[in-house]
Amino acid sequence: MSDEKASNSMWGGRFASGPDAIMEAINASIGFDRKLYAQDIRGSLAHAEMLAKQGIISAEDQRQIADGLKTILREIEDGKFAFSTRLEDIHMNVEARLAELIGPAAGRLHTARSRNDQVAVDFRLWVKEELQRTEAALLRLIAAFLDRAEEHAATVMPGFTHLQTAQPVTFGHHCMAYVEMFGRDLSRVRAAVERMDESPLGAAALAGTGFPIDRHMTAAALGFREPTRNSIDSVSDRDFALEFLSIAAICATHLSRLAEEIVIWSTPQFGFVRLSDAFSTGSSIMPQKKNPDAAELIRAKTGRVNGHLIGLLTVMKGLPLAYSKDMQEDKEAVFDAAETLDLMIAAMTGMVGDMTVNAAAMKRAAGSGYSTATDLADWLVREAGLPFREAHHVTGRAVALAEEKRCGLEKLSLEELQAINPAITVDVFSVLSVGNSVKSRTSYGGTAPGEVRRQIRYWRKRLTRGATKSKSR
């Protein structure tokens, strides 16, 4: 091992000399796949136990292998393991150390296995565990939103389309829109875990093996629902990584839209929310400033997460079946996206829980921009029997008049309104206030406070049901 030019002890049988230094640099993945050490050792423990039970290796060899692997796990966790680039990846680093520790029995571990199914099972285990972390993080974020929505079920704010004032909504309703979005992310996480819950271990290089292995046993030992059905697909499939990245990209995109809203809302011009000191920074030159850096960084990191998705899709798109070394490039993308997304969700959860909502500023803004014009048109249809198109036209004239007089719709006099359409009565003023406007929107999923509270109850119930379901799994 001290001879730098010696051929690789794992596959060097037909090689006279070792790789060029540049070859080693492009080939090695130990710099990042060491993250898979726990999954790699778990996979090997399950494999060795199965080999012994099937009589493929002796019970004594299996005992030595298991002891050795457990020692290696401790060494890595204590920071005492010497990772070697010459040994390429986590799989060969562990196996070489096993040989140092237990001698020839180590060479029996790789019976009926290849690094191709080994890396596939290790990586699936890792992604599955990461998705469970994502699930927990999303649940915390949704809980933070449900609390804010409950507090502000009746807090009126302007609703926007084209970022132009459209109609009054409640802040609770707006919060619940994000609950729907993160709720879909949550269901995507759960569905992806369900789909990837199959063990590729035992597919060997690509064709399966002639040894009498028990793939159901290793699948169960590793916590998978069942083994994969096709050995070629088992070693060439990276859908689980792509699905993780697409879930991450969609979730990051949701976070980014919210981050953008927080940036807008926290400007002095809007003043809808004030971020806590814990989630903002000051300027080194302008003492008055409080910057929404966390929101800005969440918005920016979305580019990075989305980039990883496109990166891996591009790696995979031209690969013939089954395994190609290209697939080694799957890991850095997933690891970085996972770390980034975890941080983004945590920062957003903190920000949403901490921010102060300025209900007065929201209400003031809700009343500007003729936000109740649709209410006037609806009133003309309902109470005066006008066809909606005509009501739309009448309302347009009222808005033009208010604009000319630089006042709100509710400040026009009854006489002025009747001059536009004589069917208008004093009754109309009841729908021109923003509070009455939101209260009237009682359609299923609408912005009326009662309706928002119904949505909150729905999610609270659904999330407790989901929790009992995943516990019983």
Catalytic residue among 162, 284, 413, 472: 162
* Least distance from ligand ARG to the Cβ atom of residue 291, Å: 41
Residues forming contacts to ligand ARG in the complex (CB under 6 A) are 29, 33, 89, 115-116, 119, 323, 325, 327-328
Report the residue number, 119 or 181, with the smaller CB distance to ligand ARG. Answer: 119
What pairing do the DSSP bridges indicate for beta strands 281-282 and 290-291? antiparallel
The residue annotated as part of the active site, out of 17, 276, 283, 368, is 283
Nearer to ligand ARG, 89 or 375 (CB): 89
Nearest distance in Å: CB 16, ligand ARG: 19
As a whole number of angstroms, the distance between CA 234 and CA 202 comes to 9
Listed residue (125, 95, 118) closest to 108, CA to CA: 95
**What are 198's strand-pairing partners?**
226
- Can you spell out the DSSP letters for 284-339? SS-TT-EE-HHHHHHHHHHHHHHHHHHHHHHHHTTPPSS--GGGGGHHHHHHHHHH
Give the chain's largest Cα–Cα span: 101
Cα dihedral value 346, 347, 348, 351, nearest 10: 120
Q: Which residue has the tokens 């919060």?
A: 175
We find the least distance from the C-beta atom of residue 7 to ligand ARG, in angstroms, to be 15
- Which CB, 149 or 203, lies closer to ligand ARG? 203
3-class secondary-structure state, position 368: coil
Least separation in angstroms between residue 252's CB and ligand ARG is 25
Q: Which residues contact 309 (CB under 8 A, 6 or more apart)?
A: 242, 245, 246, 248, 249, 333, 337
Q: Minimum Å distance from CB 34 to ligand ARG? A: 11
The reply to whether 216 belongs to the active site is: no
Tokens of 316: 């995979």
DSSP 8-state secondary structure symbol assigned to residue 14: G
**Which lies closer to ligand ARG via its Cβ, residue 7 or residue 281?**
7
Task: Using the minimum distance from each CB to ligand ARG, give the nearer residue, 90 or 217.
Answer: 90
Is the CB of 127 or the CB of 255 nearer to ligand ARG?
A: 127
Beta carbon of residue 110, minimum distance to ligand ARG (angstroms, whole number): 12
- Residue 113's contacts (CB-CB under 8 Å, 6 or more residues apart) are 47, 201, 202, 204, 209
Is 157 or 235 the residue whose CB approaches ligand ARG more closely? 235
CB of 241 to ligand ARG, least distance (A): 11
Instruction: Tell me whether residue 179 or residue 327 sits nearer to ligand ARG (CB atom).
Output: 327
Whether the upstream peptide bond of residue 384 has omega within 30° of 0, thus cis, is no
Asked whether the beta carbons of 68 and 100 are under 8 A apart, the reply is: no
* Smallest distance, ligand ARG to C-beta of residue 89, A: 4
| C-alpha to C-alpha distances, 264 to 163, 291, 343, 352, 354, nearest whole angstrom | 10, 11, 22, 14, 17
- How far does Cα 457 stand from its chain's mean position? 24
* Whether residue 283 lies in the annotated active site: yes
207 alpha carbon, distance to own chain's centre: 35
**What is the nearest approach in angstroms of ligand ARG to the Cβ of residue 29?**
4
Closest CA to 215 of 33, 56, 35, 69: 56
Q: Cβ contacts of residue 121 below 8 Å, gap of 6+?
A: 39, 43, 199, 200, 201, 222
CA dist 445 and 456 (Å) reads: 11
φ/ψ (deg, to 5) at 363: -65, -40
If the CB atoms of residues 64 and 328 are measured against ligand ARG, the closer one turns out to be: 328
How is residue 47 written in tokens? 């494999």
The residues that are catalytic are: 162, 283
